Amino acid sequence: MIEAVGSPASWVVSRIDKLDHYQTVLYEIDMLRFAHGRMLPLWEGAKEGDVWVYLESFLVHYRNLIDFFGKKPSR
């Protein structure tokens, strides 16, 4: 849960409840699209760190999807 009231120092961030498999996949896809959408407009005129942080986020969610779909079912 993220509370965006007050200064960033007073924000409370905690992990969301454990999701079902389909919800996890949808979350990873949403975050992959979000990072991609933020990264592309930054290529021109952005600070280098801005591009790297979205690229890293994109790759983390991409890897999570590859891991999820690339493993054999445990059952």
pLDDT, tens digit, for every residue of 27-46?
999 999 999 888 877 677 77
Proportion of the chain in helix, strand, coil states, percent, rounded to 5: 65, 5, 30
pLDDT, tens digit, for every residue of 14-26?
667 777 888 889 9
- Claim: this prediction has a pTM higher than 0.85: no
